[in-house]
Amino acid sequence: MPRLGINCDCGESYGRLSVGQDALVIPNITSANIACGFHGGDPTTIRQTARLAKAHGVACGAHPSLPDLMGFGRRVMDIAPLEFTDLIIYQLGAVKALIEAEGVRCEHVKPHGVMYAMLEREDLASAFGDAVIAVDPGMAWICESKGVAAAVARRLGIRVIAEFTADRAYDGDGKLVITRNPEPVDPGFVVDQVRQVIETGSVTTNVGTRIPVTADVVCIHSDTPNSPDIASAIRTFLDSVT
């Protein structure tokens, strides 16, 4: 299989609030999802993140969220599809303009937090896709390879970048186990997950079953306390096998 990319959510600091360790993570990843201001991020942080990514040859994309700054985009909201489209266009347009000011192209989009799960609703996934096409139909959509989001993206002609998440566990239904306050994750566990995906095309769930995984990129999270160690461990492992 082609070498996996390493993708990370970045630029989630807001004003004087510092989230993540982007300066230490970005040198070891291949693509960054930059927060758009709704769950984290602000105009200055967005530009600074793009500047840092550019310096390390890291591709940039947008990381839109529900408008939930206090809940870090992890609380469900009841939003109609048309309003949903407008929220995404607003965020993509802002990030695209700010990072282009740094000479960086907005190459992809990945939904944040609970929005990611909400896109298993076909009407919201279609609304999301409509927003992507309205802003830039050449932008790729990062999501799991199977499921409603990927199917809608392909139907709309949006390129899918398939991901699996290495610094979180999967439950027996194949869903990510999400916590409000992430704890440090053993880099050895993360590398074992990456190795298993490369060697077997599967990942072991937290109940011991295996689920099939197809991936172009490995996703990690900058708000995991030891995210720099995780990014470095994955990069070192991939360098050793590809």
- pLDDT tens track for 127-160: 999 999 999 999 999 999 989 999 999 999 999 9
Instruction: Count H helices and E strands in the chain, helices first.
Output: 8, 9
Cα 97 to Cα 15, 100, 105, 169, 206: the distances in Å are: 19, 5, 9, 35, 41
**Region of 96 on the Ramachandran plot (φ > 0 left; ψ -120 to 50 alpha; else beta):** alpha
Return the closest-CA partner of residue 75 out of 27, 39, 50. Answer: 39
In eight-state DSSP terms, residue 71 is T
Per CATH, is 5-241 categorized as 3.20.20.370? yes
For tokens 């919201």, what's the residue?
124
Structure tokens at 196: 């298993």
Residues listed for the chain? 242
Report the predicted TM-score, pTM, of the whole model to 2 decimal places: 0.94
pLDDT mean over 9-36: 96
User: Among 53-57, 155-159, 175-179, where is mean pLDDT lowest?
Assistant: 175-179
Domain ranges in the chain are 5-241
pLDDT of residue 32: 99
Task: Report phi then psi at 139, rounded to 5.
Answer: -75, 135
Task: Report phi then psi at 123, rounded to 5.
Answer: -65, -40
Position 1 confidence tier, pLDDT thresholds 50, 70, 90: low
